[in-house]
Amino acid sequence: MESPGRLSASMSEDGRYRLLVEAITDYAIYMLDPTGIITSWNPGAQRFKGYAADEIIGQHFSRFYTAEDRATELPARALHTARNEGKFESEGWRVRKDGTRFWAYVVIDPITAPDGELIGFAKITRDLTERKAAEETLRQNQEQFRLLVQGVTDYAIYLLDPDGTVTNWNLGAQRIKGYAPDEIIGRHFSQFYTEEDRAAGLPQLALSTVQREGRFEREGWRVRKDGSRFWAHVVIDPIRRENGDLLGFAKITRDITERREAQETLERTREAFLQSQKMEAIGQLTGGVAHDFNNLLMAVLGSLELMRKRLPDDPKLRSLLDNAMQGAERGAALTKRMLTFARRQELKREPVDIQELVRGMSDLLQRTLGTSVTLETRFPLALPPVLADTNQLELAFLNLAVNARDAMPNGGEIIISARQETVALGEHNLKPGRYVRLRVNDTGAGMDSTTLRRATEPFFTTKQPGKGTGLGLSMVHGLAEQFGGRFALHSKLGEGTIAEVWLPAATVEASPAKVAVPEPKVENPPPLVVLAVDDDPLVLTNTAAMLEEFGHTCHAVSSAKQALEILESGVAIDLVITDQIMPHMTGLQLARIVRSKWPDVALVLATGYAEIEEDETVSVPRLAKPFTLAELAAQIRGMRLRPRNGGQVLQFRGNGSE
């Protein structure tokens, strides 16, 4: 029998345990008998399960389980596990008195007597609903983030371990780079870099930059699974633990190839626009200078011709005079090139057979190029004619061939070829239609990018002083533009140069064969009364002197207004020779008035410009400046002139017509 002191001490200890259990409110602590009947109930159990002690003691603990768990006999299995294994521990949904559910952490321990007999179970339950909700929210957020990352297809988003090995892979990465997850996870990310970048150590540099600076951002070429390249925007960020230890890297890659190409296209377009503005300004300047220079040459050439007729037959004087004439003629040729570049040279548009043109020039080209250069032509069996000026096109071919020769000082090969092309809308900066692409290809030294960019600028040349005017290629450029085509150069250092001239194909209708008829001998026209109009006094004096040399009577005036005053005064005029570009009224405007008021008066437009407005109401023969005595005489002979006495119209043969 236990002594009263020990019994009192035992009861005191039991009381302390009871007080401890009763004081706990965050845990449900209660006892079950061996069958699961509740035998005790603490305030913590009452707080979050909702039952008072007198409501639940004597009831089976299974009522705390959901209907689904009871259907699977989970309560019985829990007691069985605790009895046989010494403990049952789990988490799951439990039911309060009001029917609401809470997430519980449950521990059941068996209680046995000293002899090992099971006398019941101790059950501790904790309400983890808030933690469960937080975990569920976190899980949902993680799942949403995973779905978000996996759903992104415009960006490659993936993780790397600290060594740079790929540890996960989203759909965007698969779409952009071509690898499935099982093909790339576990491999080093450096395989996305080009061989040049790997050799330069760029992948390692990227990771070291991230660790040192906290971020790496760059653009560059990357390689897909199939070996093709794309221009990528790359961002790499470090992933660290709370203590700062490096876990790995987050890498985001975007394919911006299209954006880069669009930017490059925009830059090329802007550069081309600026270049066109510059060339237009140079063209305006060149055209204006050439026009004024033409007038000066007109006076020089005309005066020299008249002097030749009047000077005594002195060999020394004639030699000097011929030398002056040749210099003036070279100046005239130069102004024609300048006007062609400025697209103001008067051109004759007609169908030209390229093959026949080059074949007819072959001897001239070969003599010009010399024996160290081999000339080869490659033409298809059928090639449509082009719409161009034959003489100017010959000059363009000659310029291109000479430039090619000069690029091969030690000799080489020049290939002239042509082929038909069909241009669609938006292609090659040309209007849609059929074109003939002419190519002059040399095996010379080629040009660097700076020289290539400036090659068609007027007066730009890489030749030694005195060896070139710098107008050859610019003339070809202006010629092609004036005919509705384009001129392009392709060249690299050490790889030669290809010059391309695109010209519109001409549609030629069949016409009856012309029968050669002997031309009748025609005498020069009788003396005429001519009204010469030009705002440049040098040209006006020269023109009047030429006309008087032929025996014509000339009235020289410096404006269209003065010309109309003479006509209205009643002076009988047979022919009006007028300049085009004059203040207040152009030559064509003057011709329109003359044609309407004095229809019997013949008209000639003397100009070096091609930029003359079209007018269907009046057609005026043109005489290109600077003109010679012979050209002026031929122009007058070829016109229909009505004598002032009302007699028969005289037709004089020449190269001009109304």
Fold classification of 152-255 is Beta-Lactamase (3.30.450)
Domain 529-651: which CATH class?
A: alpha beta
Residue with tokens 């001519």: 530
Three-state secondary structure string covering 159-217: EECCCCEECCCCHHHHHHHCCCHHHHCCCEHHHHECHHHHHCCHHHHHHHHHHHHCCEE
Residue 563 has pLDDT above 70, yes or no: yes
* Mean pLDDT within 90-103: 93
**Least confident interval from 336-345, 417-426, 580-589:** 336-345
How buried is 358 (Cβ within 10 angstroms: 0-12 exposed, 13-18 middle, 19+ buried)?
buried
Cα separations (Å) of 588 from 220, 252, 555, 575? 61, 69, 19, 15
Closest CA to 30 of 16, 49, 12, 4: 49
Residue 261 banded pLDDT, cuts 50, 70, 90: confident
The predicted pLDDT at position 75 comes to 94
* Mean pLDDT within 403-432: 86
Name the E strands within 241-382: 246-255, 350-352, 373-378
Residue with tokens 């100017």: 392
Q: Which residue has the higher pLDDT, 302 or 120?
A: 120
How buried is 405 (Cβ within 10 angstroms: 0-12 exposed, 13-18 middle, 19+ buried)?
buried
* Mean pLDDT within 559-564: 94
How buried is 545 (Cβ within 10 angstroms: 0-12 exposed, 13-18 middle, 19+ buried)?
middle
Residue 544 has pLDDT above 80, yes or no: yes
The predicted pLDDT at position 262 comes to 86
The predicted pLDDT at position 575 comes to 93
Q: Write the CATH number of the domain with boundaries 350-504.
A: 3.30.565.10
The predicted-structure confidence for 226-252, as pLDDT tens digits, reads as follows 999 999 999 999 999 888 889 999 999
Residue 12 has pLDDT above 90, yes or no: no
With the CA atoms of 462, 467, 471 and 473 taken in that order, what torsion angle do they form, in degrees rounded to the nearest 10?
Answer: -60
Residue 178, φ and ψ in degrees, nearest 5: 90, -5
Q: Which residue has the higher pLDDT, 153 or 389?
A: 389
Task: Please give the share of the chain, as a percent, with pLDDT higher than 90.
Answer: 34
ω into 626 cis (within 30 of 0)? yes
- Write the DSSP assignment of 499-524 as a string of letters: EEEEEEBP-----PPPPP-PPPP-PP
CB contact set of 329 (below 8 Å; sequence gap of 6+): 301
Residue 572, φ and ψ in degrees, nearest 5: -75, 115
The predicted pLDDT at position 394 comes to 78
| Range among 226-230, 458-462, 644-648 with highest mean pLDDT value | 226-230
Average pLDDT, the chain: 80
* Mean pLDDT within 384-401: 82
The predicted pLDDT at position 512 comes to 39
E strand or H helix that includes residue 15 = helix 4-23
Residue 4 banded pLDDT, cuts 50, 70, 90: very low
SS3 state at 553:
strand
**306 and 549 in contact (C-beta within 8 Å)?**
yes
Closest CA to 120 of 36, 53, 63: 36
SS3 state at 558:
coil
The predicted pLDDT at position 560 comes to 94
Residue 283: HSE in the Cβ half-sphere, 13 Å Cα cutoff: 22
| Range among 178-187, 383-392, 460-469 with highest mean pLDDT value | 178-187
Label the pairing between strands 101-112 and 118-127: antiparallel
Residue 525 has pLDDT above 90, yes or no: no
The predicted pLDDT at position 448 comes to 81
CA atoms of 74 and 350, how far apart (whole Å): 103
CA atoms of 228 and 369, how far apart (whole Å): 45
Closest CA to 123 of 73, 54, 71, 65: 65
Residue 148 has pLDDT above 70, yes or no: no
The predicted-structure confidence for 294-320, as pLDDT tens digits, reads as follows 667 777 877 787 777 777 777 777 777
* Mean pLDDT within 362-367: 76
How buried is 349 (Cβ within 10 angstroms: 0-12 exposed, 13-18 middle, 19+ buried)?
middle
Q: Cα 133 to chain center, whole Å?
A: 55
How buried is 408 (Cβ within 10 angstroms: 0-12 exposed, 13-18 middle, 19+ buried)?
buried
Identity of the amino acid at 152: V
287-313 in b/e burial notation, b at 16+ Cβ within 10 A?
beebbebbbbbbbbbbbbbbeeeeeee
| Range among 243-247, 284-288, 509-513, 625-629 with highest mean pLDDT value | 243-247
Closest CA to 386 of 314, 318, 484: 484
Structure tokens at 30: 């209660």
CA atoms of 118 and 7, how far apart (whole Å): 24
Closest CA to 529 of 608, 636, 630: 636
The predicted pLDDT at position 511 comes to 40
Task: Please give the share of the chain, as a percent, with pLDDT higher than 70.
Answer: 76
Cα dihedral across residues 592, 593, 599, 602: positive or negative: negative
Residue 8 banded pLDDT, cuts 50, 70, 90: very low
**625 and 601 in contact (C-beta within 8 Å)?**
no
The predicted pLDDT at position 489 comes to 86
602: number of Cβ within 10 Å: 21
519: number of Cβ within 10 Å: 7
Residue 273 has pLDDT above 70, yes or no: no
**Least confident interval from 11-25, 215-229, 378-392, 638-652:** 638-652
Closest CA to 396 of 468, 454, 474, 342: 474
Say what the pTM is. 0.40
Q: Write the CATH number of the domain with boundaries 15-129.
A: 3.30.450.20
Q: Which residue has the higher pLDDT, 637 or 39?
A: 39
Residue 521 has pLDDT above 70, yes or no: no
* Mean pLDDT within 261-284: 68
Closest CA to 470 of 337, 581, 354: 337
The predicted-structure confidence for 594-620, as pLDDT tens digits, reads as follows 999 999 899 999 876 554 555 545 678
Residue with tokens 């009302």: 646
Structure tokens at 253: 């890659």
159: number of Cβ within 10 Å: 18
For the packed helices 390-406 and 472-482, what is the interaxial angle rounded to 10 degrees? Answer: 140
The predicted-structure confidence for 13-68, as pLDDT tens digits, reads as follows 555 656 666 666 678 899 999 999 999 999 889 988 999 999 999 999 999 999 99
**583 and 559 in contact (C-beta within 8 Å)?**
yes
Q: Which residue has the higher pLDDT, 9 or 176?
A: 176
**Least confident interval from 359-373, 538-552, 591-605:** 359-373
Residue 409 has pLDDT above 50, yes or no: yes
**Least confident interval from 131-145, 186-200, 337-351, 507-521:** 507-521
**516 and 532 in contact (C-beta within 8 Å)?**
no
The predicted pLDDT at position 622 comes to 85
How buried is 353 (Cβ within 10 angstroms: 0-12 exposed, 13-18 middle, 19+ buried)?
middle
Residue 517 banded pLDDT, cuts 50, 70, 90: very low
The predicted pLDDT at position 9 comes to 46
